[in-house]
């Protein structure tokens, strides 16, 4: 039999080439071509392409209408409320979930906890429990057992196996009494023996995932795949992996912080951008039910004695360069502190260092402050940090970032009892944002007394002060209004205003 024609597959873009070259002609990536030898006749049932039948033997499709009885199985709740929330109220049987994140962030820990939480335990109603299997391709059985002991879940009847052959996994799971939840840690360690390429390559990851997903659909179990993240922060392996699964969850967090944020970036069965907040403790991940309190912890929060009418009192003991942003993560309001530091640039090009926010957006706001408000922000080094390790993606944070910047530049604290939100346009106008009521309610709940917000959308609502949910609302229509607002609070005790046209 002739040797099958070798082909070279780019590990970045999955394009196929007949010859090896140092650089992929399609995507331009260097050293990304790897030789793959496809098998001529894949064994029955384990075809890498999934088309084991001849086209002529296919069945005719029976098309149906959009309405009709649909028997959606109930969602499987893990009992870890933050995880259930991110999935849109629990896992959907027969669906595949991809969990990505940096090494050491806590993926294995969370999933072992989830498997254990789902497994039956004394006193738990039968209907609420499920059989769970944890298949590890990365760690030895002993390692997982040690972790389970540390997490205090070693008594839980989780089925544990160390395996990396998809054929073995399929043989063990393709049965009527398949477990209800299967965790595969990680998809990069799994391989199909029908392919000659090494585990972790594009074709192996794709084929292994495809096979496992097909099995999950057929047997109706929840499949959770752990995916590695490359240096660039994207899931290793082909992008198709994200297309193949029903839900993609990313586990994020700063190394130095204990907080871990689980974020849904794709969910066929629920809302995306929902987050779950956890704290890494010495006994695993602990849910954080009230993230706002956590993100604001350690801050000299609302000084109860501070009176709104007395800026000196309201800002006493508080440092400049920080503002509390009332944000929305998914369906949930979250308050976070935005911190800015402005220092004169020592080198020719000013430095910009941003943690937890978009650097381009920061450059835009600095430019708007320069061009529309006459503040020379852009010539300085700017450091911006979102406290607590949260990554904000909402444009509604613009005004809070601007407030932190102006506050840092003028050395005038934003009042400690004030939350800020609003989107800034290039013209300097402050645009309304969604979920205003939810943001204000959360701020009121946490003891804040004032909010700097965009102008209300309805014209009759008034421009100046109003009170909503116990918070006094200061509507700001243009960024210069924010600068004036802070300038009015500037006390002579502090250094003179730099750069502000007085």
The footprint of ligand TYD (CB under 6 A) covers 101, 103-109, 147, 150-151, 280, 282-284
Residue 39, binding choice from Mg ion, ligand TYD, none, Cβ under 5 to 8 Å by partner class: none
Nearer to Mg ion, 102 or 273 (CB): 102
Smallest distance from ligand TYD to CB 145, Å: 12
Q: How far is the CB of 90 from Mg ion (least distance, A)?
A: 23
Residue whose entry in the numeric block shows the structure tokens 């990536």: 29
Name the binder of 104 from Mg ion, ligand TYD, none, CB < 5-8 A by kind: ligand TYD
How far is Cα 220 from Cα 502, in angstroms, rounded to an integer?
A: 69
Question: Pick from Mg ion, ligand TYD, none: which does 284 bind, CB < 5 to 8 A by kind?
Answer: ligand TYD
* DSSP SS3 for 340: strand
User: Of 105 and 450, which CB lies nearer to ligand TYD in the complex structure?
Assistant: 105
CB nearer to Mg ion: give 108 or 301.
Answer: 108
Go through the chain and tell me how many residues it has.
Answer: 502
We find the least distance from the C-beta atom of residue 221 to Mg ion, in angstroms, to be 21
Task: Rank residues 223 and 450 by Cβ distance to ligand TYD and give the closer one.
Answer: 223
- For the chain, what is the total number of helices (H) and then of strands (E)? 12, 22
Distance of CA 5 to the CA centre of its chain: 42
311 interacts with, out of ligand TYD, Mg ion, none, CB within 5 to 8 A per kind: none
CA angle 341, 346, 352 (to 5 degrees): 45
CA distances from 255 to 52, 336, 458 (A): 46, 18, 44
With contact defined as beta carbons under 8 Å apart, do 224 and 136 qualify?
A: no
Partner from Mg ion, ligand TYD, none binding residue 220, C-beta < 5-8 Å depending on class: none
What is the smallest separation between the CB atom of 285 and Mg ion, expressed in angstroms?
13
- Around Cβ 81, how many Cβ atoms within 10 Å? 12
Smallest separation (angstroms) from ligand TYD to the CB of 165: 21
- Min dist. Cβ of residue 272 to ligand TYD (A): 21
DSSP 274: -
Residue with smallest beta-carbon separation from Mg ion: 108
3-state SS record for 98-118 = EEEECCCCCHHHHHHHHHHHH
C-alpha span between 52 and 45 (Å, rounded): 7
Q: What is the binding site for Mg ion (CB under 5 A)?
A: 108
- Partner whose footprint covers residue 101, from Mg ion, ligand TYD, none (CB < 5 to 8 Å by kind): ligand TYD
């Amino acid at each position: 039999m002739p040797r099958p024609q070798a082909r070279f597959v780019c590990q970045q873009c999955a394009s196929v080439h007949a010859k090896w070259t140092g650089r992929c002609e399609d995507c331009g990536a260097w050293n990304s071509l790897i030789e793959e030898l496809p098998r001529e006749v894949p064994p029955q049932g384990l075809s890498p392409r999934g088309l084991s039948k001849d086209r002529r033997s296919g069945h005719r499709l029976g098309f149906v209408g959009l309405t009709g009885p649909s028997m959606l199985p109930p969602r499987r709740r893990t009992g870890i409320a933050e995880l259930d929330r991110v999935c849109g109220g629990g896992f959907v049987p027969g669906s595949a979930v991809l969990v990505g994140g940096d090494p050491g962030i806590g993926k294995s820990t969370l999933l072992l906890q989830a498997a254990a939480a789902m497994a039956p335990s004394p006193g738990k109603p039968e209907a609420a429990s499920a059989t769970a299997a944890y298949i590890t391709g990365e760690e030895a059985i002993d390692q997982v057992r040690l972790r389970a002991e540390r997490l205090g879940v070693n008594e839980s009847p989780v089925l544990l196996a160390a395996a990396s052959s998809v054929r073995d996994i399929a043989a063990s799971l393709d049965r009527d009494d398949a477990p209800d939840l299967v965790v595969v840690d990680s998809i990069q360690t799994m391989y199909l023996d029908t392919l000659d390429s090494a585990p972790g390559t594009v074709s192996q990851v794709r084929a292994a995932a495809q096979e496992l997903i097909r099995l999950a659909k057929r047997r109706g179990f929840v499949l959770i795949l752990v995916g590695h993240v490359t240096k660039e922060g994207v899931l290793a392996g082909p992008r198709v992996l994200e297309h193949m699964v029903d839900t993609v969850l990313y586990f994020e967090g700063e190394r130095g912080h204990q907080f871990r944020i689980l974020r849904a970036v794709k969910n066929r069965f629920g809302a995306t951008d929902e987050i779950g907040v956890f704290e890494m403790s010495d006994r695993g991940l602990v849910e954080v039910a009230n993230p706002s309190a956590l993100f604001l912890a350690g801050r000299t929060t609302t000084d109860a004695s501070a009176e709104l009418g007395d800026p000196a009192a309201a800002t006493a003991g508080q440092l400049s360069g920080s503002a509390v942003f009332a944000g929305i993560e998914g369906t949930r309001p979250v308050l976070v502190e935005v911190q800015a530091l402005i220092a004169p640039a020592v080198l020719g090009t000013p430095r910009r260092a941003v943690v937890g926010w978009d650097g381009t957006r920061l450059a835009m706001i600095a430019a708007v402050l320069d061009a529309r408000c006459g503040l020379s922000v852009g010539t300085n080094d700017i450091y911006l940090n979102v406290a607590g390790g949260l990554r904000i993606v909402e444009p509604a944070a613009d005004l809070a970032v601007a407030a932190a910047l102006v506050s840092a530049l003028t050395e005038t604290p934003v009042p400690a009892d004030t939350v800020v939100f609003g989107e800034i346009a290039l013209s300097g106008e402050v645009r309304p944002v969604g979920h205003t009521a939810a943001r204000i309610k959360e701020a009121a709940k946490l003891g804040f007394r004032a909010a700097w917000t965009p102008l209300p959308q309805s014209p009759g609502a008034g421009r100046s002060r109003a009170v909503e949910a116990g918070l006094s609302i200061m509507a700001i229509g243009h960024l210069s209004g924010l600068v004036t607002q802070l300038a009015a609070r500037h006390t002579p005790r502090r250094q003179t205003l730099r750069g502000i046209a007085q």
